[in-house]
Amino acid sequence: MAETAAPATSAQKNLSLRVSPAAPLGAAFEAGSVQGVVELREVPFLTMVGLRVNRNSGAGERVASVTGGLPAGCGSVSGTGNTSVLWLGPEEFLVVAPTEAHESLGGDLIQALREALGGEAGQVVDLSANRTTFELTGPRARAVLEKGCSLDLHSRVLQAGTALSTEIGNIPAVLWKTGDESFRIFPRASFADFLGRWLLDSMREYASPEVP
Amino acid sequence: MLLISCPNCGSRDETEFHYGGQAHVAYPENPNELTDREWAEYLFYRDNTKGAFAERWLHSTGCRQWFNMLRDTVTYEIQAVYPMGSPRPDAAGKVTADTGTASTAADSTTTGNASPDISGTSTSPTSISSTTAPEGATP
């Protein structure tokens, strides 16, 4: 609370006090991961920006030049470097960037987006604390997700580089297939504990030898 | 479980959607001139159609957009998915005049025979629901 009362402007803030939504599960994630089969970890404190803008408007084009394009339709992801833009709706996008891009750490992403939007219709909202990020990797990652996600996750349908807003384990989450065997899952912070435990439970069978 | 074709996202489970009640209930032009009864009817009175029924749906855990859907309340067949603001298509997918409370279903309360009369609700295979997934909707 002290930080709220007197916000520090420099990047020299004491960040050791930050607790990510799934931090209490960190040890459980490590214990529950099965090396080379399916592994789960939290990627805490990514910078996320909620973007609402018509991509065909002037503001949309200016914003697109900052983020490296805006995705055109459901599932598509655009962006340059380590900044990605996920499609959430026809005029709604989620910008995902590394922690350092946040303005509290001296990054200028959010400010650049605000300036690109200007006074036109739309929103640029810092949502970094809204969701956390889980990274699920390994050959069994798809099998784990299929226990609670009704999308067709087979690679012939869901290509790497596709992000979909859907339900996983009965809670709303954004699922981003970042590679052939790796997924990023963005649950809201309040669901992080639930989804973390759900994934651990779902992963547990792969720690044992397969029953023929 | 219904499989609903969202105009933006393609086929998704029913659990991703929220129901928004009857479609095409227009806000009164001059609410102040309505009697209490008319206002109450606007607020609370809805059709209880047996057959094709136009209703609003929200893809709440997907693209968060509203759309209209023509669904058979008996068979659950989704006959059409169309954008908010556009007039109600009939069961075959053609556009008819927007009467607000129109129903193509036969009035089941007046039929003498026990089995529901579905002659008014075309369940012909001309429904357009299978063609509503947009181009590029990957899932």
Task: With respect to residue B138, please indicate whether it lies within any of the assigned structural domains.
Answer: no
The residues near A170 (Cβ < 8 Å, ≥ 6 apart) are A148, B15
**H-helix or E-strand containing B79?**
strand B78-82
Task: Quick: pLDDT tens for A108-145.
Answer: 999 999 999 999 999 999 999 999 999 999 999 999 99
Identify whether B113 is part of a domain: no
B98 in A contact zone (CB under 8 Å):
no
Q: What does the DSSP 8-state code read for residue A178? A: E
Question: What is the spatial distance between Cα B114 and Cα B138, in angstroms, rounded to a whole number?
Answer: 45
- What residues of B are in contact with residue A159 (Cβ under 8 Å)? 138
How far is it, in rounded angstroms, from Cα B138 to Cα B9? 8
CB contact under 8 A, B16 and A166: yes
Name which CATH class applies to A23-44+132-204. Answer: alpha beta
Q: Of A212, A203, A163, give the one whose Cα is nearest residue A184.
A: A163
* Residue found by looking up tokens 């954004």 in the block: A174
Residue A198's φ and ψ, nearest 5 degrees, are -65, -45
Contacts of A78 in chain B (CB under 8 A): none
B111, part of any domain: no
Domain harbouring B45, CATH code: 3.30.2270.10
Q: A58-67 vs A109-117: helix axis angle to the nearest 10?
A: 160
Query: Which two tokens mark B52?
Result: 């094709």
Residue B137 belongs to a domain: no
Domain A46-129: CATH superfamily is: Heterotetrameric sarcosine oxidase (3.30.70.1520)
Residue B41 in this model has a pLDDT that exceeds 80: yes
Whether A80 contacts chain B with CB within 8 A: no
Over its C-alpha atoms, chain B yields an Rg (Å, rounded) of 16
Is A165 close to B63, i.e. CB distance below 8 A? yes
- Asked if A165 and B62 come within 8 Å (Cβ–Cβ), the reply is yes
CA dist A163 and B113 (Å) reads: 52
Task: Give the burial string for A185-194 (b: 16+ CB within 10 Å, else e).
Answer: bbbbeebbbe
What is the model's pLDDT at position A209?
87
Evaluate whether residue B18 is within a structural domain.
yes
As a whole number of angstroms, the distance between CA B116 and CA A107 comes to 66
How far A198 CA sits from the closest chain B CA (Å)? 19
Cβ–Cβ under 8 Å, residues A117 and A63: yes
Q: What are the per-10-residue average pLDDT scores of chain A (212 residues)? A: 50 76 96 95 96 94 94 94 94 95 90 94 95 96 96 94 96 96 97 97 92 82
Q: What is the pLDDT of residue B88?
A: 93
- Domain residues for the domain of B99 are 3-106+119-131
Structure tokens at B15: 């659990």
Please list the alpha-helical segments (H only) found in A34-173: 58-67, 109-117, 141-146
Look at residue B114 and tell me if it is in a domain: no
B65 Cα to chain A: minimum distance (Å): 7
pLDDT tens readout for residues B113-135: 333 333 333 333 333 444 444 44
For the stretch B69-111, pLDDT in tens is 999 999 999 999 999 999 999 765 555 444 444 333 433 333 3
Q: What total of structural domains would you count in chain B?
A: 1
| Interchain CB contact of A172 with B (< 8 Å) | yes
Confirm or reject contact between B123 and chain A (CB < 8 A): no
3-state secondary structure of A133: strand
> Which of B16, B61, B137 lies closest to A74 in CB terms?
B137
The answer to whether the CB of A75 falls within 8 A of the CB of B139 is yes
Q: Write the CA distances from A14 to A24, A127, A181, integer angstroms.
A: 20, 21, 36
pLDDT confidence of residue B127? 39
**Domain locations in chain A as residue ranges:** 23-44+132-204, 46-129
Mean pLDDT across chain B, nearest whole number? 76
> Is residue B139 a part of any domain in this protein?
no
